[in-house]
Amino acid sequence: MSDICKHYLKEDWERDLRCKLLGSKQSGQKFWDFYQDIMKLNIMLKDTDSHHDNKQLRNLLEAALNEDLDNHATEDKINTILDLKKWASTIDNLNMKHRNELKHICIEADELVHKHQAL
């Protein structure tokens, strides 16, 4: 992969990808989408000094979680899971659970507003 990048990307491609990887934050993105973006960047860094192993990726991803998801993961002791794939799957399940809960809360709030406006 690094040979392809060397031939088709600009001269500082490795530095640019490394900075993008290290500076990434989940923000409001679904965790699994964010996880895939990080994995793609890391694959592009394969065979370079900037490539991360699974332990480094796990730590990077944990540090990049949005605050709400990180708090829930800490509360549920998910951050004690060291295996990257198991941790990512568990975080994704937690993220989807909380996104669904928020969706239902928003729907209920919207219904209450419409009910109140109808009075």
Average per-residue pLDDT in the chain?
91
CA distances, 3 to each of 33, 46, 59, 75 (Å): 27, 10, 27, 43
pLDDT band of residue 18 (cuts 50, 70, 90) is: very high
Is it the case that residue 106 has pLDDT exceeding 70?
A: yes
- 0.85 cut: is pTM over it? no
Give the pLDDT confidence of 77-101 residue by residue, as tens digits: 998 999 999 999 999 999 999 888 8
pLDDT at residue 1 in the model: 64
Question: Is residue 76 over pLDDT 90?
Answer: yes
Nearest-angstrom CA–CA distance, 4 and 84:
27
